[in-house]
A and B are shown apart, each in its own frame.
Chain A
Amino acid sequence: MYRPKSRRDSAVMTEPVELPPLRGDYKVITCVMPAGRGAAVMETLRREQGVVSASVHHARGIGTHSLRHRVYSDEKQVLTAVVAAEHGDAVFELIYFAAGINAPHAGMVMMGHAFRAAGTALLPLVVEDVQ
């Protein structure tokens, strides 16, 4: 049984906070792309799908196909987006083309699933942005 340890805890308990559902269906889409494209892909996601539940960080990528890639690592960016399952395929496709994955040595995009998430609501699309 939960017993509040302080007045602050008890105050938190009494405030009506709506928690996300215990179980849902979400997709986690991860894209490894060349460094420098992350911000543009994030902006495309927001403009075309209203997705803001994404983040980008830097990484280095190591390949095995050539000696150069084994010795030197490429600068990469990794984008992770979490969206409701029904939008998964559309966002996957959008990221694939926005990040230019359809070219050699560009990286990859992958999709897994999550069963609880929050903050994944899509922003309403702005007409000027779409035009």
Chain B
Amino acid sequence: MKQRDEIVVLTDAVLITCIVQRGVADAVVDAATEAGAQGATIFYARGTGVRQKHLGVLGITVNAEKEVIYIVAPSDHADHIFERVYVAAKLDTPGMGMIYMALLEKMATYVPPEVAARFGRHD
């Protein structure tokens, strides 16, 4: 029987964080889901930087309003999602944004009991 204080902890997960100009997040999420991501969390931010100083004329075209996208993915799938997002967000162009991924020590979410039972207990 499932206990109230039982947490199914998942390891080998990676958090991909992508910062893009406002309006680009939907394209990023589409690319990530096509690549196999299960979901994404998006929020707004305002990015300040050296765009006017170092990008010249290009700096005018960079919107300071940003969207930040969190994608949690299994570590063996994360590189694929990372690359698809990189291409979709055109991050090879200066000023378009940035992306990074960091290993998570653990994560937890709702895991249906039948799924947890299929993988057995790991005490």
Where the two chains meet, the residues of A that have a C-beta atom closer than 8 Å to any C-beta of B are 27, 30, 32, 57-65, 69-70, 73, 76, 78, 92-93, 96-97, 101-113
Main secondary structure of the interface of B (DSSP, over half): strand
Contacts of A104 in B (CB 8 A): 110, 112
Q: In the docked arrangement, what's the CA distance between A69 and B108, Å? A: 20
Q: Tell whether, in the assembled complex, residue B39 and residue A64 are in contact, meaning their CB atoms are under 8 Å apart.
A: yes
Q: Tell whether, in the assembled complex, residue A101 and residue B105 are in contact, meaning their CB atoms are under 8 Å apart.
A: no
Q: Tell whether, in the assembled complex, residue A64 and residue B109 are in contact, meaning their CB atoms are under 8 Å apart.
A: no
Q: B40-48, B49-57, B76-84, B87-95: which one contacts chain A?
A: B40-48
Q: Tell whether, in the assembled complex, residue B106 and residue A59 are in contact, meaning their CB atoms are under 8 Å apart.
A: no
Contacts of A113 in B (CB 8 A): 105
Q: Tell whether, in the assembled complex, residue B105 and residue A93 are in contact, meaning their CB atoms are under 8 Å apart.
A: no
Out of B38, B42, B108, which one reaches A101, CB within 8 Å?
B108
Chain B, residue nearest A69 (CB)? B39
Provide a sorted-by-A list of 22 A–B residue pairs whose CB atoms are within 8 angstroms: A30-B15, A32-B41, A57-B43, A59-B42, A60-B41, A61-B40, A62-B40, A63-B39, A64-B39, A76-B41, A78-B43, A92-B108, A93-B5, A93-B7, A96-B108, A102-B7, A102-B110, A103-B110, A104-B112, A105-B110, A112-B15, A112-B103
Q: Taking the nearest CB of chain A, how far is it from the CB of B73, in angstroms? A: 11
Contacts of B42 in A (CB 8 A): 59-62, 73
Q: Taking the nearest CB of chain B, how far is it from the CB of A3, in angstroms? A: 22
Q: Tell whether, in the assembled complex, residue A110 and residue B110 are in contact, meaning their CB atoms are under 8 Å apart.
A: no
